[in-house]
Amino acid sequence: MIALADWIILETAYAAAFCVRMNFAEPLAGWRSACLSSLSACAVQMLLLTAFGLNRAWRWRIAARDVPRYVATFLIAAAVLLGMRALMPSNNMFWARPPYSVTLIDAVFALFGILGLRFLRQEHKGACAGAPAVPALSVPKLFEGRCVLVTGAGGSIGSEIVRQVARAGAAKVLMVERGENALYKIDYEMKGFGGVCVPLMVDVADAERMRALLAEWRPSVVLHAAAYKHVPMVEMNPEEGFRNNTAATGTLVQLAREAGVERFVFISTDKAVHPKSVMGRTKREAEKLVLAAGFTVVRFGNVFGSSGSVVELWREQIAAGGPVTVTDRRMTRYFMSVQEAVNLVLSAAALEGGKVYTLDMGEPVSILNLAEDMIKEAGWRPYRDIGIVFTGVRPGEKLEEELGLEEGVRIGNTKIFASGGGYD
């Protein structure tokens, strides 16, 4: 596939060079000669790309340090083609003799075209390697004309919730976020919605501020995404983890009930299923408080592209030349995209309260295979160009996570399962 894409780019570059240099009043025979000469130009360039290993499947994307190899390849190709022009008799194999000026312009165009193909492909295909194809769920009309409060609105999940709720026609979206920079970014992005989104720099653990906010705006829907989510960090700071993840959620649930909030969705994690980590336990206890109030819980696996994701860490490590760090070669995780995760949250908001909703994300993904795929997609070879170092399982981490789907019931023909939480 990449060889075909390269050939198309090379042909396009030659055609562009010919159009720039040649006179459109040329006799038809001259055009035919130039078109035939493109075959030799592209063949020489493709052969050199192949000889230098620059059009292999793992070369979809490149690092900056690879650019000199591409420049050298096209300089050599140009030299070969110029030599052919000078040495071949004018009356023999005319089609294999591209004009001098066209050759030079073509080499420049081809270089930028090939590099552009690789540099513009910024999204790593490997970032979703092994992730199941999950059909999008329709965002309910629950939010049309309503006031919706989103906590953690500056985070990866929270900001996508804000976007989708605003697009769904909410009258007001209250963006609650304690991080100034994160709140500024999402507020700036949502300016185009004409004042629908309101930035509120508030800590959800501040009960008085949250009580006043709920009393002033009277939201009918609360989507609670604010939380600490890094297992090692919460493991080292358990008191803060329980304060922010469990106590703050319990307080917000109580305040929401007092304020007459109709729908409350709490975003949890698969780590709350038979928790081994402090973070998992903080989420599990928060789930119990939410369900006791008759509200809704949604459990996620790992989310591609979320802040602090291992995928983001690997991208940085690959860009720096490696090595890529993997905790254990046996480790597996469930993955979903940010859009799928948020779509699940919004769909769950319209379902029956007092339940835990989980998305069937298919088979778990090998962390080692994911790391290897990302290295390949970045244009390198695992263990040869970019090393992989195994650092060991960190405190609180499991080798395998659970979804708890065996305790749930499928909702219609969707991939959503509902359960009562499965608590002991």
Q: How confident is the model at residue 325 (pLDDT cuts 50, 70, 90)?
A: very high
d(CA 56, CA 49): 9
| Confidence (pLDDT) at 129 | 44
Closest CA to 268 of 292, 249, 255: 249
Task: Check pLDDT > 80 for residue 260.
Answer: yes
| Confidence (pLDDT) at 134 | 45
Active site includes 271?
A: yes
Cβ(71)–Cβ(78) under 8 Å? no
Closest CA to 163 of 113, 109, 225: 225
Least confident piece of the model among 74-83, 292-301, 411-420? 411-420
| Confidence (pLDDT) at 205 | 94
How many CB atoms are closer than 10 A to CB 275?
Answer: 19
Mean pLDDT in the chain? 83
> What is the average per-residue pLDDT within 110-130?
61
Describe the strand order of the beta sheet including 197-200 as a list of residue ranges: 197-200, 172-176, 147-151, 221-224, 263-269, 296-300, 356-359, 416-419, 409-410
Coil, strand, or helix at residue 260? coil
By residue count, the chain amounts to 424
d(CA 53, CA 51): 5
CA 58 from chain centre, in angstroms, equals 20
The DSSP bridge partners found for residue 151 are 176, 224
323 prior amide bond cis, ω within 30 = yes
Coil, strand, or helix at residue 361? coil
As a whole number of Å, the end-to-end CA separation of the chain is: 53
> What is the average per-residue pLDDT within 65-92?
79
Q: Which residue has the tokens 């080692």?
A: 368
Q: Which residue has the tokens 């890529």?
A: 324
**Residue 201 in tokens:** 């720099």
pTM here is 0.69
**pLDDT tens track for 9-25:** 888 888 888 777 665 55
The DSSP bridge partners found for residue 359 are 416
Is pLDDT larger for residue 52 or for residue 149?
A: 149
How many CB atoms are closer than 10 A to CB 24?
Answer: 6
Judged by phi (left if over 0) then psi (alpha if -120 to 50, else beta), residue 318 lies in alpha
Kindly list the structural domains of the chain, giving each domain's residue range(s) and its CATH number in brackets, ordered by start: 2-122 (no CATH), 128-419 (3.40.50.720)
**Residue 245 in tokens:** 């993840």
Helix 180-189 and helix 156-167: axis angle, to 10°?
A: 30
| Confidence (pLDDT) at 227 | 94
| Confidence (pLDDT) at 239 | 96
Is pLDDT larger for residue 306 or for residue 272?
A: 272
Cβ(58)–Cβ(374) under 8 Å? no
Closest CA to 42 of 118, 123, 102, 117: 102
Task: Check pLDDT > 90 for residue 113.
Answer: no
Q: What angle do CA 13, 17, 20 make, to 5 degrees?
A: 140
Q: Which residue has the tokens 């959800």?
A: 204
Percent of the chain with pLDDT over 70: 83
Which candidate in 271, 355, 376, 415 is catalytic?
Answer: 271
**pLDDT tens track for 384-398:** 889 999 999 888 888
**pLDDT tens track for 293-307:** 999 999 887 777 676
**pLDDT tens track for 279-288:** 999 999 999 9
From the number of C-beta atoms within 10 Å of its C-beta (0-12, 13-18, 19+), residue 385 rates as middle
CA 116 from chain centre, in angstroms, equals 21
Cβ(409)–Cβ(418) under 8 Å? yes
**pLDDT tens track for 128-174:** 444 444 444 556 788 999 999 999 999 989 999 999 999 999 999 99
Q: What is the dihedral of CA 186, 187, 188, 192, to 10 degrees?
A: 110
Give residues with Cβ within 8 angstroms of 261, minimum separation 6: 214, 219, 220, 221, 222
Give kind and range of the element (H or E) at residue 80: helix 67-87
| Confidence (pLDDT) at 300 | 82
